[in-house]
Amino acid sequence: MFEEFYHFKTHPFRLSPDPNFICMTEQHREALSGLIYSVCTRPGLSVLIGEAGTGKTTILYTLLSLLERRRYFTAMCTIPTLTREEFYEFLLLKLGVNCASASKTKQLFALEEALKQYRAEGRPAVLIVDEAQRLPAELLEEIRLLLNLETPQEKLLEIVLAGQPELAVTLRREELRQLKQRVGCICHLKPLNAEEAGEYMLHRLAQAGHSEPGLFTAAAIQSLYEFAGGLPRLINTLADTALRIGFAVQSPNITPFIVNEAARELELVRAVPDAVSAEPQNDVVARLDAKLRESLAEIPAAETPAARASMPLESYASRQKSLGFFSQWMGFLK
């Protein structure tokens, strides 16, 4: 399909939260840095807030990948509508806790003993809950109780809740004030601005192995940003559709007309007003092409996503200038 036509090594705009494709804008660096810091200092509860499509899940999978490299015990729950019994069953299974009893008392005792053993082995445990704005009050209360599992020095289970802005509203409810008081870190993600959206596009094209600048014209990237409103998920969907349409008409470049056709097919309207850059068009194209060439220069030609996944963290981070901030909090990963 279009991967071969446009000379991609892999699909550049899949919706799956692949950490290999994460584009670390300043706000993404701050959010991930905050979560890493929380894992290091173990205050108990951390919260990640962002609109749908801003990249929360990708941040979480990046954090998960970092933790698993250091053999942390991790449990990531992406289905927050479980019953209390199902939630504990999931937690025990993911953290490798053996408890055949359905008794909550026995389950909590087994969990606490296992967490103490893991901590003594230098392998802390982390629970990550995505789509947490959908957590029922019953599970929010269970999460509060899990934060009571602690030693005199630290929490035995670090918990990260990620959700849409409704989660922040929920945590401000009077009946949940005890849970809100346990929040040690709140990180935020917002839609990308126009410049970040352009960098995001070029980054994903480079990670997919595209070596020819100008596939998406600067005007097409601007149009794509306006329709997607800076939401990475919508950027991916719209860019993917534009590539499919471009392939269908055998166009060597993705132009604003093709982006408009893709938006029409997806029934999208412009989320932000038309914006005219103050820079001359040739300067815009030159700047975007320079960013693409810089990104491509940092990726070995023979490298594949699978190779990147197995690459040592130090090599991966050093290749991405945007990950330089890891040096502050990544001592525990060495």
Supply the CATH number for residue 117's domain: 3.40.50.300
SS3 48: strand
Q: Give the pLDDT band (50/70/90) at residue 62.
A: very high
Name the more confident of 85 and 297. Answer: 85
Residue-wise pLDDT tens digits, 241-300: 999 999 999 998 999 999 999 999 999 998 876 544 434 444 544 555 555 455 444 434
Looking at the fold, whether 34 and 176 belong to one and the same domain comes out as yes
Looking at the fold, whether 175 and 202 belong to one and the same domain comes out as no
Supply the pTM of this predicted model: 0.79
Looking at the fold, whether 39 and 177 belong to one and the same domain comes out as yes
Given a cut of 50, whether residue 329 has pLDDT beyond it is no
- Strand arrangement of the beta sheet that strand 45-50 belongs to: 73-77, 125-129, 157-163, 45-50, 183-189
pLDDT at position 271: 80
SS3 24: coil
pLDDT at position 283: 52
Residue-wise pLDDT tens digits, 147-189: 999 888 889 999 999 999 999 999 999 999 999 999 999 999 9
Residue 21 lies in a domain: no
- CA gyration radius for the chain? 22
Residue at 277: amino acid letter: S
SS3 123: coil
pLDDT at position 323: 41
Residue 322 lies in a domain: no
Residue at 298: amino acid letter: E
Looking at the fold, whether 75 and 148 belong to one and the same domain comes out as yes
Looking at the fold, whether 292 and 256 belong to one and the same domain comes out as yes
CA 46 to centroid of chain Cα atoms: 15
Given a cut of 60, whether residue 83 has pLDDT beyond it is yes
Looking at the fold, whether 57 and 162 belong to one and the same domain comes out as yes
CB-based contact 55:189 (threshold 8 Å): yes
Residue 10 lies in a domain: yes
pLDDT at position 115: 95
- In this structure, of 140-144, 284-288, 315-319, the range with the lowest mean pLDDT score is 315-319
Residue 62 lies in a domain: yes
Residue-wise pLDDT tens digits, 182-200: 999 999 999 999 999 998 9
Q: Give the pLDDT band (50/70/90) at residue 6.
A: confident
Distance CA 310, CA 201 (A): 24
Count of domains forming the chain: 2
Q: Give the pLDDT band (50/70/90) at residue 306.
A: very low
- Write out the residue range of the structural domain in which residue 81 sits: 26-189
Looking at the fold, whether 163 and 225 belong to one and the same domain comes out as no
Of 74, 109, 112, nearest to 95 (Cα)? 74
Segment 232-247 mean pLDDT:
94
CB-based contact 156:112 (threshold 8 Å): yes
